[in-house]
Homo-oligomer: A and B are copies of this chain.
């Protein structure tokens, strides 16, 4: 079960309202690389995980992504200011001004409603962890784009925090992968002829070959973590 505490995971501030940037920041609230997607992806995957250590990791991070979502939404809310004025909010979607009364919304920067099509869950631990690693990397990239388009000190600090947390999650998911790397969809990799061929279908050019395919394996940055710490 979830319990809520009123204080945010980390305090958020803004220098001044900025409705245009509020619309842009919506991307990480209700967009495909945003916090809601991350939280619901890891939560969805967790329901069928048997490995209690990895299940705990997924739920630790899912809970944190919900907390990030609150931080982003609170920042959007402050940036939206106090007066609906779509005519001056020329960037991105104008839903805050005509629909939500300046409340943050479950949409991306252009007003596309959040959809569960963003969430990947296969029931295979290797595939799901790889999905999460990719999701965290994309989330970092979007925060980088948002960071460089705002000068507001408060907003930059919040983005900086969130960006670094996604990096931390990414590293943790890779450690989790190392623990289960010989299971499920990782088994019997590259044993057929078909799995070793390269089809050169775009011409000109052929710059890769595939002599000896192996299942995914990350270099392990934290060898001391190869064994659980409990």
Which A residues have a C-beta under 8 Å from some C-beta of B? Answer: 1-9, 20-21, 23-24, 27, 30-33, 36, 40, 44-45, 47-48, 52-54, 56-57, 59-60, 62-64, 66-67, 70, 73-74, 76-77, 84-87, 89-95, 97-124, 126-127, 130-131, 133-134, 137-138, 140-142, 144-146, 148-149, 160-161, 164-165, 167-168, 170-172, 174-176, 184-185, 189-190, 192, 194-214, 216-219, 221-222, 224-225, 228-230
Contacts of A168 in B (CB 8 A): 190, 194-198, 210, 213
Q: Does the CB pair B195–A164 fall under 8 Å?
A: yes
Q: Does the CB pair A33–B194 fall under 8 Å?
A: no
Q: Does the CB pair A205–B149 fall under 8 Å?
A: no
Contacts of A30 in B (CB 8 A): 116
Q: Does the CB pair B103–A44 fall under 8 Å?
A: yes
Contacts of A148 in B (CB 8 A): 84
Question: With contacts A93-B110, A99-B142, A176-B208 known, is A217 near B214, CB below 8 A?
Answer: no
Q: Does the CB pair B47–A104 fall under 8 Å?
A: yes
Tell me how many chains of this kind the complex includes.
Answer: 6
A209 to B230, CA, bound (A): 10
A34 to B175, CA, bound (A): 28
Instruction: Choose among A118, A160, A194 the residue with the greatest number of B CB atoms under 10 Å from its CB.
Output: A194
Q: Shortest distance in angstroms between A187's beta carbon and chain B's nearest beta carbon?
A: 10
A62 to B86, CA, bound (A): 30
Q: Shortest distance in angstroms between A179's beta carbon and chain B's nearest beta carbon?
A: 9
Q: Does the CB pair B228–A207 fall under 8 Å?
A: yes
Known: A48-B102, A102-B123. 14 other contacts (CB 8 A): A32-B117, A47-B103, A48-B101, A57-B208, A87-B149, A90-B91, A91-B94, A93-B111, A97-B149, A133-B134, A170-B216, A211-B222, A214-B221, A217-B218
A9 partner, pick from B1, B36, B133, beta carbons under 8 A: B1
Contacts of A118 in B (CB 8 A): 117
Q: Shortest distance in angstroms between A147's beta carbon and chain B's nearest beta carbon?
A: 11
Contacts of A149 in B (CB 8 A): 84-87, 97-98
Contacts of A111 in B (CB 8 A): 93, 108-112
A106 partner, pick from B44, B127, B217, beta carbons under 8 A: B44
